[in-house]
Amino acid sequence: MRTRRVLAALTAVCGLALAGCSGGTEAQEDPNAPIKVGVTPQPHGEILEYVKNNLAEDEGVKIEIQEFSDYNRPNGAVANGSLDANYYQHKPFLNEYKSERGGDLHWIAPVHLEPLGIYSDKHDSLDQLPEGATVSIPNDPSNRGRALKLLEAQDLVTLEEGAGQEAEVRDIAENPKKLEIRTLKAAQLPRTLGDVQAAVVNGNYALKADLDDPLALESTEDNPYVNGVVTNSEMRDDPRVEKLVEMLQSQQVKDFIKREYGGKAVIPAS
């Protein structure tokens, strides 16, 4: 009897586990259900909220927005099927995530660029940075390399020849002002401005912290760091994802982005 009870319990547990593994969003099972999209609050959540309130009904699409405060969970949620898509990242970050963690994730289309900016509470120009100044930059590989490239573009450092998109601080070949480069989580960078001479901040976190007047901005020309829509295999060819992209790339949304963000922290993809 005891053996039977144990076997019955194990069977029930296995059944629950299998049921959990086979789950997915309602949209994956019902072509008329809302599409669930993960975003970070600014600017992605604001842009998608505009789409939801102004365009989605006319296109016959219902959108459920789920906000995240970090850069990893939205990808995990799309990969495991609890979200249908996300909108918050650029291709280099997606490639980095997939190389480290894997997952059923597919880049679909670009929407906007958030140029990295160099900000300072202590100086009005980069020329004023003193020798030995501390500069904080993002610590995730794609944005770290991106920040170092921006410092190089401003003649603050020179990187080793061949240093790629995931350049590291050790790849600095020349550092004429002997800058101390401090790497931190991207979300923490605005809070470091009281302790450092300058910080390289992602556009979404600059918006969240109400930072303006950057000392320098990343060039938008041929920039690979355009943010866009990512989904999984189940939803890759779904008409709702196609309509989501069409709305996000529409002239109406481009005009909203220009109007809302002033053409600095957020720029529509061409």
Q: Where is 155: in which H helix or E strand?
A: none
Q: What is the pLDDT of residue 208?
A: 87
Residue 65, SS3 per DSSP: strand
Domains delineated in the chain: 29-115+224-268 (3.40.190.10), 117-217 (3.40.190.10)
> pLDDT 10s digit of each residue in the chain, 270 long?
333 433 344 333 333 333 334 357 888 889 899 999 999 998 999 999 999 999 999 999 999 999 998 889 999 999 999 999 999 999 999 999 999 999 999 999 999 999 999 999 999 999 999 999 999 999 988 899 999 999 999 999 999 999 988 899 999 999 999 999 999 999 999 999 999 999 999 888 898 899 988 999 998 888 889 999 999 999 999 999 999 999 999 999 999 999 999 887 899 997
Q: What is the pLDDT of residue 23?
A: 54
Contact 93, 143 (CB under 8 A): yes
pLDDT at 1 (0 to 100): 38
Q: What is the pLDDT of residue 14?
A: 35
Sorted by sequence, the CB contacts under 8 Å of residue 268 that are 6+ apart come out as: 111, 112, 113, 253, 254, 257, 258
Beta carbons of 120 and 133 less than 8 angstroms apart: no
Q: In terms of Cα–Cα distance, which of 29, 85, 35 is closest to 59?
A: 35
Enumerate residues 6+ apart whose C-beta is below 8 A from 224.
90, 91, 92, 165
